[in-house]
Amino acid sequence: MSLLPFIEIEPFCNDKQQNMPANAVVILLHGLGASGHDFEMLPKQLNLPKDSCIRFIFPHAPQIPVTANGGYVMPAWYDILEMTEIRKVNEQQLINSVNEVHKLIQRELDRGISSERIIIAGFSQGGAVAYHAALTFPQKFAGLMALSTYFATSNSIKVTPENKAIPIQIYHGSRDPMVVEAQGRRAYDDLVSMGYQVDYKSYPMEHELCFEEVADISNFIQIHLL
């Protein structure tokens, strides 16, 4: 089975100077024009307990032309047709990326990780894929984190009942010029109307991560995986 290229960071015990066997996984998808390397330092920044046995996986999106960027070829999970507040996207390409993420999830299940020990997360364009990937998978996850993103398929998604009670955390910057906060708020409203329990956090930042947000991400991971 072919897989997306990705960065994989195994849990590490500083005291014993050796890797520990993972019993939980966080899969985090990057944004448009970026790569998994953007989050390579995040596990250290989370300051998780030393005995945390969490594997981090940061996939790389394929290189495709993006219409909204003049057809320029760049890493993207799907084509964006119009960079309007309500994004017009190539939904089939988004679904294709979801299928690739599901393959990575299945790889973890095959390695002995329970689905209930997996958190799916995504930043910006990667967050739109993360929403769909988590809510359409036929096994229960530990949680879903949506960072500075939007719910591109809220009107068409066919969710599975297994994740109807999944903990969902949305993080957004109040000064975000790329994905304005109204898009994050709309995702929150759509999810609530669909019956999900959602927590929303806003920060005085632009299209980025801030220290307070990283601390909140760490807290979410510790609550649901430790």
Phi and psi (nearest 5°) for 181?
A: -60, -25
- Residues with catalytic annotation? 124, 176, 207
Residues 6+ apart with CB under 8 A from 99: none
**Which DSSP string corresponds to 69-136?**
GTTEEEE-SS-EEE-SSS-EE-HHHHHHHHHHHHHHHHHHHHTT--GGGEEEEEETHHHHHHHHHHHT
Cα–Cα dist 23/179, whole Å: 34
Cα–Cα dist 119/113, whole Å: 11
Partners of 199 in beta bridges: 169
- Two structure tokens written together for 153: 């398929």
Cα–Cα dist 32/173, whole Å: 17
Is the torsion defined by CA of 213, 155, 103, 195 positive or negative? Answer: positive
Is the torsion defined by CA of 3, 7, 38, 213 positive or negative? Answer: positive
